[in-house]
Amino acid sequence: MFFTYLRRELSGRRKQTAIIATGMAIAIALVIIVNSVAAGVKVAQASVLESVYGVGTDISVTETPVPPAAGAKLPGRFDFGAGDGTTAAGSTTVSQSRLTAGPGSQTMDATNVKTIAGVSDVKAVAGTLVLNNVTFSGQVPDKAQRQAAAPNDSNGPPTGGADGAGGSSFNIQSFSVMGIDPSATAVGPLSAVALNTGRGLSASDIGQPNAVLDSTYATTATLAVGGTIDIGGTAFTIVGTVDSTSGDSGTASNVYIPLDLAQSISSNAGQISNVYVQADSASNITAIQTAIQAALPATTVSTQADLAASVSGSLATASSMLESLGLWLSIAVLIAAFLTAILFTVSGVTRRTREFGTLKAIGWSNKRIVGQVAGESVVQGLIGGAFGIVLGIVGVVIINVIAPTLSGSASSRGLAAAGGAMRSAGGNGGGFGNGVGFGGGGGFGGAGRGLSQAASVVTLSAPLTMSIIFIAVGLAVVGGLLAGAIGGWRAARLSPAEALRSVN
Amino acid sequence: MYKLNNVSKKYSQSRREVQALDGVSLEIPAGQMVAIQGPTGGGKSTLLQMLGALDRPTSGTVTMGEQEISKVKDVKLAEIRAKDVGFVFQSFNLIPTLTAQENVETALEPLHLPAAERRERARAALESVSLSDRADHRPSELSGGQQQRVAIARALVTNPKVLLADEPTGNLDEDTRDEIMDLLEGLWRDQGLTLIIVTHDSAVAARAQRRLVIRAGQVKDAA
Ligand SMILES: Nc1ncnc2c1ncn2[C@@H]1O[C@H](COP(=O)(O)OP(=O)(O)OP(=O)(O)O)[C@@H](O)[C@H]1O
Ligand SMILES: [Mg+2]
């Protein structure tokens, strides 16, 4: 009888059912879409962060930057001596690689790693040295030719050089290098990578000129496992390539080499630029941060939360918009839907006063009538919920098909060159004509300098989880129960004698 | 069947007090067919509500069989209504969304019968009012007389001791009125009911064994 009556009421009063269900459907679809987009934005934020800091990094320690001392030489100068290069056909070909901790990056003493490891509740520590390798290569006219031509100016046009007429041409290649401790990769940038080809660095690589490359960089630079790469004048064997495990972002650096070699080649003996810290448990993070800051006052200690706040760009805008607008909009629509359901249920009960009075007169208990009213409302809510879920899934699918891209950048002091931005590391060419002198070196170092950001373009995907669906169904039931409880209470309060007297 | 002792019912409605029943003492033996007449506002419906366990008197006692129904709790009143009383109303009061068959079944709902038995009893009740062929029709698809037959089937499907009818023919034309009265009288005779009918219509009242008149809340036997 319960279900027969329920079915008859819902199909007999379609308009009311449709209105209540529609309100509920819109609200629930909105909740689903807002929830899953919010989850997508979180994933995107995490992927931007992970590409820089690795998985499981709770705290990152860097040296607080100070302005360089007056008159200090910027690193990365290229000095060519008289005997440098090889000469052929009137041109001297020169090539030099410099591995430096580029401007904008500050190093600190490697003993800080030990100090931090000594802080209580620290689970894992890894120090890295972030470097930038710049290779200068090019052709200048052979010195012997110039000297021969110098005494009598009236001699014919200059010869030699790149164009065979005394011109020069040079090329500047830049890529990021990270010195890592091959025996401690549990925490730090390499914890967020997956091996693509070859092998990773292990403890046996300490002191060995072996390098692992970001696979995207390897592809653009046409390098492969088994080949070599010139880093600061030392030929490194490429033993493996790695991919980021977090979606579209690249890994933290183009090239990874053992820390000891990175320090010696870049003349940064005993120096590191970054310490990655993993805490025993999340509840200790703040205490560890305080302890590290006290032990190493000259450093900047950032927690993952600080870092998440540093994710900027449209990703941050989307995140804050979801938190404010999305949340409030879904709450407002939900309240409106609940109120609509309650209002229509109560007015339905009022319209059916005589009906309920009759049922009471023929012996229906209050409980039975309340149950009937509540059952109707819950089913109306569930119908709305079902349509809402369909509507929400359609909305989420549409978002996933459109796949809007969001850009996010995580600022990370001390990381000279990191992440996706460095994937564009390529050649900066310049040239100078005969007798004009160096004038075209504008691009020099442009790629590496001050690149303390990992900019990533992340495709937003809105994941649909079972829990979101359950929440939606729960909301539909709650809305229905709420309307049913209030409507049922109204029906229960009717005295049968008075209900029968009502004139409708 | 009924014993009323000094029953009064007072309604207080926005300052004004209405004495709907004023010290009614009355006995109705089981199996009697009673007509209640009187001017509008005299208290006929109010008396019927007391008899039907729909409401309690302000003072006095109402005893139905062995049960003093003026004292019991709401839940018990609902149970008495479900088992011992059948109601028929002037405007039929069928559930508009349910079919005739389902409307009759609603009266069996409080008895918690198995679905098959419930269906069978409702079907038999419809047959006893000669409406088997209309079992699947909604009230809106039935004439007034047919609707009142469904209401009578609903009232009698539980085999109550008492059938209370408040102007059951008030909304019907004369031919249909006689039809319905024939039906009620037949059922009363066959089933040994106590039948109490409130009516304005002397033709209806004339069929009863006993006629009561209520004026200003006071009851008198007419004969
Ligand atoms: N719930 C109530 N609240 C206030 N007054 C009421 C209520 N019920 C009945 N009355 C009043 O009590 C009196 C008796 O009403 P009742 O319905 O019993 O009369 P009736 O004889 O059935 O009249 P009618 O022939 O018009 O149906 C009337 O004056 C009516 O206005
Ligand atoms: Mg009346």
CA distance A175 to A195: 20
Q: What is the pLDDT of residue A437?
A: 32
pLDDT at A62 over 90: no
Using CA coordinates, name the residue in chain A closest to B50: A497
Taking contacts as CB-CB distances below 8 angstroms, the residues of chain B near A501 are 45
Contact status, residue A192 vs residue A148, Cβ threshold 8 Å = no
Question: B167 and chain A: CB distance < 8 Å anywhere?
Answer: no
Q: Can you read off the two tokens belonging to residue B10?
A: 């007072």
Identity of the residue in B45, B102, B106 whose CB atom sits nearest the CB atom of A359: B106
Tell me how close the Cα of A379 comes to any Cα of chain B, in angstroms: 17
Q: In terms of Cα–Cα distance, which of B119, B93, B109 is closest to A372?
A: B109
Tell me how close the Cα of B93 comes to any Cα of chain A, in angstroms: 7
A120-159 residues labelled b (16+ CB within 10 A) or e (exposed): eebbbbbbbbbbbbbbbbbbbbbeebbeebeeeeeeeebb
Tell me how close the Cα of B80 comes to any Cα of chain A, in angstroms: 7
pLDDT at A168 over 90: no
CA distance A415 to A131: 8
Spell out the SS3 assignment of chain B.
CEEEEEEEEEEEECCEEEEEEEEEEEEECCCCEEEEECCCCCCHHHHHHHHCCCCCCCEEEEEECCEECCCCCHHHHHHHHHHHEEEECCCCCCCCCCCHHHHHHHCCHHHCCCHHHHHHHHHHHHHHCCCHHHCCCCHHHCCHHHHHHHHHHHHHCCCCCEEEEECCCCCCCHHHHHHHHHHHHHHHHHHCCEEEEECCCHHHHCCCCEEEEEECCEEEECC
Tell me how close the Cα of B157 comes to any Cα of chain A, in angstroms: 11
Using the Cα atoms of residue A304, residue A309, residue A315 and residue A321 in order, give the sign of their dihedral: positive
Element (H, E) at A377: helix A366-402
CA distance B164 to A134: 105
Q: State pLDDT tens for residues A203-252.
A: 898 989 999 998 888 988 899 999 999 888 889 999 999 887 765 556 77
- Please state, for a pLDDT cut of 70, what percent of chain A lies above it: 75
CA distance A21 to A345: 12
Q: Max alpha carbon distance in chain A (Å)?
A: 129
Contact status, residue A228 vs residue A238, Cβ threshold 8 Å = yes
Question: What's the pLDDT band for A102 if we cut at 50, 70, 90?
Answer: low
Question: Which residues in chain B show pLDDT less than 50?
Answer: none
Number of residues that this document lists for chain B: 223
Q: Which atom of ligand 1 is nearest to the CA of B198?
A: 22
Contact status, residue A490 vs residue A346, Cβ threshold 8 Å = yes
Q: For ligand 1, which residues put their CB under 6 angstroms from it?
A: A 498; B 11, 13, 18, 20, 38, 40-46
Cα of B198 to ligand 1 centre, how many Å?
A: 13
pLDDT at A420 over 70: no
CA dihedral B80, B81, B82, B87 (to 10 degrees): 150
Question: What's the pLDDT band for A444 if we cut at 50, 70, 90?
Answer: very low
Q: What is the pLDDT of residue B37?
A: 94
Q: Can you read off the two tokens belonging to residue A206?
A: 């300490």
> Residue A126: what are its φ and ψ, rounded to 5°?
-145, 135
pLDDT at A379 over 90: yes
Taking contacts as CB-CB distances below 8 angstroms, the residues of chain B near A8 are 97-98, 102
Helices (H) and strands (E) in chain A, counts: 14, 19
pLDDT at A383 over 70: yes
Identity of the residue in A1, A364, A496 whose CB atom sits nearest the CB atom of B54: A496
Tell me how close the Cα of B85 comes to any Cα of chain A, in angstroms: 8
Spell out the SS3 assignment of A103-166.
CCCCCEECHHHHHHHCCCCEEEEEEEEEEEEEEEEEEEECHHHHHHHCCCCCCCCCCEECCCEE
CA distance B82 to A252: 79
Q: What is the pLDDT of residue A53?
A: 64
Which B positions 14-53 lie with beta carbon below 8 A of chain A?
A: 45, 49, 52
Say whether B109 and A364 touch across the interface (CB within 8 A): yes
Number of residues that this document lists for chain A: 504
B36-66 residues labelled b (16+ CB within 10 A) or e (exposed): bbbeeebbbbbbbbbbbbbbbbeebbbbbee
Say whether A12 and B83 touch across the interface (CB within 8 A): no
Q: State pLDDT tens for residues A140-165.
A: 777 665 555 545 555 556 666 666 66
Question: B114 and chain A: CB distance < 8 Å anywhere?
Answer: no
A-B interface: how many C-beta pairs under 8 angstroms? Answer: 80
Q: Which has the minimum average pLDDT: A196-200, A342-346, A410-414, A421-425? A: A421-425
Identity of the residue in A357, A362, A501 whose CB atom sits nearest the CB atom of B106: A362
DSSP code, position A186? S
> Residue A128: what are its φ and ψ, rounded to 5°?
-130, 155
Q: State pLDDT tens for residues A8-50.
A: 999 988 988 999 899 889 988 988 888 888 888 877 777 777 6
Count of C-beta atoms within a 10 Å radius of residue A443: 13
pLDDT at A101 over 60: yes
Taking contacts as CB-CB distances below 8 angstroms, the residues of chain A near B55 are 495-497
Cα of B166 to ligand 2 centre, how many Å?
A: 7
CA distance A46 to A308: 8
Q: What is the pLDDT of residue A452?
A: 35
Question: B55 and chain A: CB distance < 8 Å anywhere?
Answer: yes
Q: What is the pLDDT of residue A67?
A: 66
DSSP-assigned states of every residue in A219-282:
HHTT--TT-EEEETTEEEEEEEEEEESSTT---S-SEEEEHHHHHHHTT-TTEESEEEEEESSG
Return the best residue to mutate from B16, B45, B55 for the ligand 1 pocket (most ligand atoms within 8 A of CB).
Answer: B45
CA distance A125 to A390: 48
Identity of the residue in A4, A11, A361 whose CB atom sits nearest the CB atom of B102: A4
CA A469, distance to chain mean position in Å, is: 26
Q: Can you read off the two tokens belonging to residue A104?
A: 């904008």
CA distance A79 to A233: 13
CA distance B149 to B126: 8
Who's near A88: CB < 8 A, 6+ residues apart?
Answer: none
Contact status, residue A350 vs residue A493, Cβ threshold 8 Å = no
**ipTM of this complex prediction, to 2 decimal places:** 0.95
Say whether A358 and B49 touch across the interface (CB within 8 A): no
Its pTM stands at 0.66
Who's near B3: CB < 8 A, 6+ residues apart?
Answer: B26, B27, B61, B62, B63
Stronger pLDDT, A76 or B79, i.e. the higher one? B79
Stronger pLDDT, A333 or A53, i.e. the higher one? A333
Question: Which residues does A contribute to its contact with B (CB < 8 Å)?
Answer: 1, 4-5, 8-9, 11-13, 354-355, 357-366, 368, 495-497, 500-501
Q: Please give the single-letter amino acid code of residue A233.
A: G
Q: Max alpha carbon distance in chain B (Å)?
A: 52
Say whether B55 and A495 touch across the interface (CB within 8 A): yes
